[in-house]
Structure 1
Amino acid sequence: MASLVLTILLWVGVLTLAIVFTTFCFITVYIYYVHRKYSHIPQLPMPSFYLGHKKYLDEGYDENSDRSTDLVLYDMHKELGSPPVFLIHILHITMVLIVDPKAVKEVVFDKRHPKPMTFYKTFCYIYGQRFTGRGLLTEMDYEQWHKRRVILNTAFHRKFLKDFMEPFNKSTSLFMKKLLEKADGKTEIAMSEHFNRCTLDAISKVAFGMELDIIEKEDSTFNTQVLTALHGMIVSGDIGNLIDFSSKAKKTKEDVIKAVRSLRETGRQCINKRIDEMNSGEDVPEDVLTYIIKAGQEVNGDDKEKMEVMIDEFTLFFVAGMETTANTLSFAVIALGRHPEVLHRLQIEIDAVIGDKTYISYEDINKLEYTMQVLKETLRLWPPVVGMSRQLVCDIDVEGYTVQAGSSVNFNSFLMARMEKYYHNAHDFDPGRFKSDEDTMQYTYFPFALGPRSCIGQQFALIEARVILARFVSTFDFVLVPGQKFTLHSEITMKPKEKCKVYLTAKQ
């Protein structure tokens, strides 16, 4: 009997080793095949056959590094001689990066090329918890996406944007009041954190009719939940974190799951309340929430799935709308602090258009032309979202390089913004470059993406940013805190690593 057991165990061991060996060989052959398939495209030597270029990117993910992932890619591209296309390998995954405007136009405006799920799946679920699920950003079914996009476009029509001015101004006035409490010229203020609270408060008021009191309460639970969930998108997708069983990793995972569940539960309650109001015949605002509910009726699936997709959209609007605008404002303040001549010109315009007013009208917004140029130049150099990704359904030619069907490609505006080929004195902060015709740069400049799947909230964000920046400049004098490093940090969105620290003084 004992002999039989040993024999069985021996054969199980041999079979297991055979399976492991066969799997290893298969993986090795497949990785070799992928490397050969793309060998004609410029790429740096790989430090590791299996891990590919991961060693380069690890520096960008290192919290102690002064170089973000985007700067690592920039250095890689520059070392290769700035070709129109290059690539990175990590394990079996290959990402082809394209910096050619003709290819941008050819691919992004062709609806046949879908978004690659391998890139966007971290937005859908975090640690198994539904996050943005099938929201506009991550819906892969084009027809389903298009039906809902058409309905939601209405919420951002010009006539509704005008109605947004009152809540925008309300949030901004609360924001100015809060900053005035700290404006003694010697208190160090991390503007990134304050801009996050302001933009989140504005979204809650404008899009969902919610009063979350985020600006007054600096320890707002809702604000913390959004930031925790965003952090969770990074850590949950890192293989090293997935196999980390330390108490710290366990606590992070628990906090992220709790934050995601809480955000979605807030969305569920908000949506159910609005549906009840609509069903009872009450007058409801024509805001984003109302149109999310209307768009939800176009979802394939039962009532439960329709509700989950509505919550997906709710979550997506909060997360995307808060970080992107707040990061843009932070970079704008840094740029203004380092370029006093630009700040001086901006102040002249704001004084002429706004003066002593504390309410900025829709008509005022259209007069803030240089303010808009400052924001556009900020977005050129530091786009919160640095590029667009697509899965090719057919081969394309990029200046003589063939990129095969099935490839995941990324069009990177961060890199293109720094190429003299497209911009004169590309590294200079020069808002004046946006005074001229922008058609020449439209396929190299896409902070809100391009094509049919461009950002639905582009005008919303630019109006909000102009209101906040104009009021900030008209209310305060500021200087950047000396000694801080103006380095970048990439965590889903690009942001200033040291949070844009300033000293504020109220203008008399």
Structure 2
Amino acid sequence: MSPQDTRNATPVKVPLVTQPLGILGSLNAARSNILSIIPEIATRQPMVSGRTAKRWHMVMDPDAIKRMLLENLDSYPKSLVTKNLLKPAIGESLFIAEGAHWRWQRRTAAPVFSHRNVMNLAPVMSAAAERSAARIGEAGPRAVDVAQDMVRTTFDVIADVTFSGDGMFDAEGVHQGIDAYIAEAGKISLLDVLGAPDWVPRPGRLIHSRGPVRDMHRIADEAIEARRARGADGVPDLLDLLLQGEDPKTKRQMNTAELRDNLLTFIVAGHETTALTLSWALYLCAFDPRVQEKARAELADVLGERTTVTGEDVANLPFIRMIVDEALRLYPPAGMVSRTAVANDILCGREVRPGDTVMIPIYALHRHHMLWEDPDTFRPERFGDRKAIPRYGYLPFGDGPRICIGASFAIQEAVIILGTLLSRFRFTPVAGREPKPVMILTLRPDGGVWLEAEPLAGPHSPSREEAA
């Protein structure tokens, strides 16, 4: 597609519903693509409400979202659906815990993701980017599923920065186990849609939460105890930093089970969400060659003869960061978040009662016609003036006290990997193989992201003839 063509075209999107679905229709839609239950009107109204066995609300108004995520946080804990889905795998980790149990864990873990610690881990990200570039280059003129490679690349990063390649920890086995659990047991049950209490068994989750999850917990526990006995060696990794961490208020430290649950959360969430961001960013760059060439010009100015982005380069690559931000706007990995109201409240002048499901459909929020100009259009430059971005209208990492603890880690990693790949290859789409955005737990490109990658002339990039 030429730069001229992209002016009148939009990248792939989820078709939103225009008619009520009913209970069974909602269940079937949610099991195949959660975002397909969002009514199209949610991209034009501040709040949409309805009833599907129980009362629900979708909130797109930034002021109301601020109330949910900041001003009245304790009245909107994570929904029972979310907890039922993830708790067997990651326990009462930061992602699920509420109240005081969440607060002390957050205070303990926050220093782990300080700017200094994240910068210390940048060489791991640069090395993984180089290995990705080598794999893509070896594919020659054939099309490459960059989504698959991004999963491998970001998994390499999280495995290295979590356990420093510790041979005692089968990180890939742990990831595959959790991924299988989510794929099989994480599908929404009719019991969830009907609002059944969490003590009612969900058979699929019971089956898949036993052997694989028990084995993962055992493997992680053994690795943590071994590291506790051995101590840190070299640049501290995430496990070292968490072992050293303590709550500044209570001086409490995480025990083995708490460390395990949080590390499993970081391993799974920390690599898949960044892999998805990079996959969609590469698709969008291939979709619009103008953006790709502008990014490459910035890279040439900053890197010179180099083709690998380092941690020090990240602050000097604002346009690469804008591409990442725009990919997160159009395809947020967590395209919808759900809360269960526990107290009476008023949002957008509408009554919210205890027990109501209150959703923030981030996918619709990021494409809302009252908040974004040409919301379905790929336009990274809209992030050139960050003050113009509505604070609670852009939530790729959430906001308020529960904003994603690893946001800076993810952004740094995405800029390093995306910049390194764009400095070495020119990406073009493969006709007839557009990805399909589908969300079960995260917003994935169904069918992969198939692109052709033409090596560029440079000190570390072979010509197409050499690559062949």
SS at 1:452's partner residue? helix
Instruction: Tell me the percent identity.
Output: 21
SS at 2:313's partner residue? helix
User: Out of 59, 81, 85, which is 2:29 matched to?
Assistant: 59
Structure 1 residues 95 and 209, CA, compared in 2 at 3 Å: closer, same or farther?
farther
* Separation in structure 1 between the aligned mates of residue 316 and residue 132 of structure 2, nearest angstrom: 23
Query: Is the contact between residue 148 and residue 298 of structure 1 (CA under 8 Å) also seen in structure 2?
Result: no
SS at 1:446's partner residue? coil
Residue 85 (structure 1) aligns with: 47
Structure 1 unaligned runs (5+)? 1-42, 63-67, 215-219, 241-249
Structure 1 residues 436 and 502, CA, compared in 2 at 3 Å: closer, same or farther?
same
- Return the offset for 1:347: 1.1
Query: Is the contact between residue 31 and residue 188 of structure 2 (CA under 8 Å) also seen in structure 1?
Result: no
Query: Is the contact between residue 296 and residue 306 of structure 1 (CA under 8 Å) also seen in structure 2?
Result: no
1:108 aligns with 2:108: no
Residue 122 (structure 1) aligns with: 84
Query: Is the contact between residue 477 and residue 505 of structure 1 (CA under 8 Å) also seen in structure 2?
Result: yes
Q: Residue deviations 1:130-181, cap 9 Å, x none?
A: 31101100112x2121112112111111111220111111222222222222
The 5 Å alignment of 1:464-503 reads 464-503=413-452
- Return the offset for 1:57: 4.8
RMSD of the TM alignment (CA)?
3.3
Q: Residue deviations 1:32-91, cap 9 Å, x none?
A: xxxxxxxxxxx99866xxxx44404523533xxxxx33144143636xxx4322235443
- Return the offset for 1:115: 1.7
1:185 aligns with 2:141: yes
Q: Residue deviations 1:2-31, cap 9 Å, x none?
A: xxxxxxxxxxxxxxxxxxxxxxxxxxxxxx
Query: Is the contact between residue 186 and residue 205 of structure 2 (CA under 8 Å) also seen in structure 1?
Result: no
1:260 aligns with 2:213: yes
* Separation in structure 1 between the aligned mates of residue 36 and residue 110 of structure 2, nearest angstrom: 34
* Separation in structure 2 between the aligned mates of residue 403 and residue 58 of structure 1, nearest angstrom: 26
Q: Residue deviations 1:183-226, cap 9 Å, x none?
A: x112x322111111111110111232125799xxxxx6455334
1:289 aligns with 2:239: yes
Query: Is the contact between residue 108 and residue 248 of structure 2 (CA under 8 Å) also seen in structure 1?
Result: no
Residue 210 (structure 1) aligns with: 165
User: Out of 113, 118, 142, which is 1:161 matched to?
Assistant: 118
The more displaced of 326-335 and 478-487 is 478-487
* Separation in structure 2 between the aligned mates of residue 113 and residue 286 of structure 1, nearest angstrom: 38
Residue 153 (structure 2) aligns with: 198
Structure 1 residues 210 and 261, CA, compared in 2 at 3 Å: closer, same or farther?
farther
Structure 2 unaligned runs (5+)? 1-16, 193-202, 458-468
SS at 1:443's partner residue? helix
Which of the pair has the greater relative contact order for Cα pairs under 8 Å at 6+ separation? 2
SS at 1:438's partner residue? helix
Structure 1 residues 461 and 437, CA, compared in 2 at 3 Å: closer, same or farther?
closer
* Separation in structure 2 between the aligned mates of residue 419 and residue 252 of structure 1, nearest angstrom: 35
1:276 aligns with 2:236: no
The 5 Å alignment of 1:56-455 reads 56-62=26-32, 68-75=33-40, 77=42, 82-91=44-53, 93-110=54-71, 111-125=73-87, 130-140=88-98, 142-182=99-139, 184-186=140-142, 188-210=143-165, 221=173, 223-235=175-187, 237=189, 257-278=210-231, 283=233, 285-294=235-244, 306-438=255-387, 440-455=389-404
* Separation in structure 2 between the aligned mates of residue 435 and residue 112 of structure 1, nearest angstrom: 34
- Return the offset for 1:364: 0.7
* Separation in structure 1 between the aligned mates of residue 382 and residue 96 of structure 2, nearest angstrom: 34
- Return the offset for 1:433: 0.6
* Separation in structure 2 between the aligned mates of residue 296 and residue 151 of structure 1, nearest angstrom: 5
Q: Which residue identity is paired with 1:224?
A: Q
- Return the offset for 1:447: 0.6
SS at 1:375's partner residue? helix
- Return the offset for 1:380: 0.8
* Separation in structure 2 between the aligned mates of residue 61 and residue 123 of structure 1, nearest angstrom: 13
- Return the offset for 1:267: 1.6
TM-score, length-scaled by structure 1: 0.76
Query: Is the contact between residue 46 and residue 53 of structure 1 (CA under 8 Å) also seen in structure 2?
Result: no
Structure 1 residues 226 and 438, CA, compared in 2 at 3 Å: closer, same or farther?
farther
TM-score, length-scaled by structure 2: 0.82
Structure 1 residues 73 and 392, CA, compared in 2 at 3 Å: closer, same or farther?
same
- Return the offset for 1:108: 0.8
SS at 1:139's partner residue? coil
Structure 1 residues 309 and 117, CA, compared in 2 at 3 Å: closer, same or farther?
farther
- Return the offset for 1:95: 2.9
Query: Is the contact between residue 425 and residue 456 of structure 2 (CA under 8 Å) also seen in structure 1?
Result: yes
Structure 1 residues 213 and 143, CA, compared in 2 at 3 Å: closer, same or farther?
closer
Query: Is the contact between residue 80 and residue 340 of structure 2 (CA under 8 Å) also seen in structure 1?
Result: no
- Return the offset for 1:479: 1.8
Query: Is the contact between residue 162 and residue 267 of structure 2 (CA under 8 Å) also seen in structure 1?
Result: no
The more displaced of 422-431 and 262-271 is 262-271
Matched length:
430
* Separation in structure 2 between the aligned mates of residue 181 and residue 259 of structure 1, nearest angstrom: 35
Q: Which residue identity is paired with 1:398?
A: L
Q: Which residue identity is paired with 2:25?
A: K
Q: Which residue identity is paired with 1:144?
A: H
Q: Which residue identity is paired with 2:177?
A: Q
